[in-house]
Structure 1
């Protein structure tokens, strides 16, 4: 599968997951805002993620950028495993 198409399918899967979670989440909590920010980062392409995380590191610090990168990576991994199990 082409990388752009794979990224699009990963982003679509993450978006769907966040939409499902929204129904039962406290959408005004800091935890929810963090989850949505991580989802946003996870839906970006590799180059876009690097630029975004670099900006976060400059503005909010390396610890925040590293945490966000880790959370986004977990979301992407979960989406990839979901897509691998999903029949074509």
Structure 2
């Protein structure tokens, strides 16, 4: 599969996951805003993620950027495994 197409499918899977969660969780706490930011970053392509995380590092520090990168990577991995199990 082409990388652009894979990125699109990953982004769609992440978006769908967040929409399902939104229906069943309290969206007021800061943890939800963090989850949405992680999902946003996870849905970016590799170049977009690098640029965004660079800005986060400048504004909020390296630790915040690293934590966001790790969380986004975990969410992407979850989406990839979901897509691998999903029938075409």
Same fold (TM over 0.5): yes
User: What is residue 56 of structure 2 aligned with on the other side?
Assistant: 56
Stretches of 4+ moved more than 4 A in 1? none
Deviation at residue 26 of structure 1 after TM alignment: 1.3
- TM-score, L = length of structure 1: 0.98
Q: Secondary structure at the match of 2:31?
A: helix
Deviation at residue 33 of structure 1 after TM alignment: 0.4
d(CA) in 2 for partners of 1:81, 1:32:
23
Q: Secondary structure at the match of 1:27?
A: coil
Q: What count of residue pairs does the alignment treat as equivalent? A: 88
d(CA) in 1 for partners of 2:44, 2:23:
24
Deviation at residue 24 of structure 1 after TM alignment: 1.4
User: What is residue 29 of structure 1 aligned with on the other side?
Assistant: 29
Structure 1: any 5+ residue segments left out of the alignment?
none
- TM-score, L = length of structure 2: 0.98
Deviations 1:24-79 (A, max 9, x none): 11111110000000000000000000000000000001111011001100100000
Structure 2: any 5+ residue segments left out of the alignment?
none
Q: Secondary structure at the match of 1:28?
A: coil
